[in-house]
């Protein structure tokens, strides 16, 4: 297992052409991972740009190979809990990448003042649910979005660190 390199999805009007091309590549890589793992709720490039204004989004690479991404939503309704969602492409699971992505995202959440963490997993994502439960999360809610057939599962852990 190699260490991962993380690239943030950022929005800036001050970018050079090279930086703009790189930013677009990172955004499209983030979209690819999200939409593959959550096919019931695909996001457009514009959706992601809006999310990147309020959340921390990043892509994980092993060398030049895309392996996953994460979303960190800052504490909002609950002032101590950030939402951390780590995603790993299926072909890169069970290699320790999920752990690295998750740990990196927890560091980001801690920097935002969070002391508890929540996550959301698509019910059909058995690997993701096992990962969350193995890391001490407990289910708090299960719900269907309008027009969807597969539920989302909300989980929470009362502490950031193990």
Stretch (H or E) spanning 98: helix 97-111
Specify the CATH number for the domain of residue 27: 3.40.630.30
Query: What pTM was estimated for this model as a whole?
Result: 0.89
Q: How confident is the model at residue 148 (pLDDT cuts 50, 70, 90)?
A: confident
**How confident is the prediction for the chain on average, in pLDDT?**
91
CA pseudo-torsion sign 146, 150, 152, 153: positive
Domain encompassing residue 11: 5-157
Q: Where are the beta strands (DSSP E) in the chain?
A: 5-8, 56-62, 65-73, 81-88, 116-122, 138-143, 152-157
- Of residues 161 and 116, the one with the higher pLDDT is 116
Which pLDDT score is estimated for 101? 98
Three-class SS state of 46: helix
Q: Is residue 39 part of a domain?
A: yes
The percent of residues above 90 in pLDDT, for the chain, comes to: 80
Whether residue 125 lies inside any domain: the answer is: yes
Residue 72, in any domain of the structure: yes
Q: How far apart are CA 40 and CA 122, in angstroms?
A: 9
pLDDT of residue 154: 96
Domain count for the chain:
1
pLDDT of residue 126: 94
**Residue 57 scores a pLDDT above 70:** yes
Supply the pLDDT for residue 23. 86
Strands 56-62 and 5-8: antiparallel
Distances (CA, A) of 57 to 47, 53, 68, 89, 146: 12, 9, 11, 16, 25
User: Residue 162 falls within a domain, yes or no?
Assistant: no
Say if residues 100 and 154 touch (Cβ distance below 8 Å): no
Instruction: Note the pLDDT of residue 160.
Output: 82
Burial of 38 (0-12, 13-18, 19+ CB in 10 A): buried
pLDDT digit string, tens, across residues 3-32: 899 999 986 556 555 556 778 999 999 999
């Amino acid at each position: 297992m190699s260490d991962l390199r993380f690239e943030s999805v950022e929005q800036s009007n001050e970018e050079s052409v090279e930086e703009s091309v790189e930013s677009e590549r990172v955004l499209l890589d983030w979209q690819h991972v999200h939409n593959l793992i959550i096919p019931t709720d695909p996001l457009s490039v514009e959706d992601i740009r809006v999310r990147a204004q309020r959340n921390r989004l990043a892509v994980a690479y092993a060398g030049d190979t895309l392996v996953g991404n994460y979303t960190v939503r800052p504490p909002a309704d609950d002032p101590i809990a950030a939402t951390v969602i780590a995603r790993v492409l299926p072909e890169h699971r069970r290699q320790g990448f999920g752990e690295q992505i998750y740990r990196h995202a927890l560091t980001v959440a801690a920097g935002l003042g969070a002391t508890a963490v929540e996550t959301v997993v698509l019910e059909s994502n058995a690997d993701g649910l096992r990962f969350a439960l193995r890391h001490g999360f407990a289910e708090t809610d299960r719900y269907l979005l309008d027009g969807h057939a597969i539920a989302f599962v909300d989980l929470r852990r009362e502490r950031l660190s193990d």
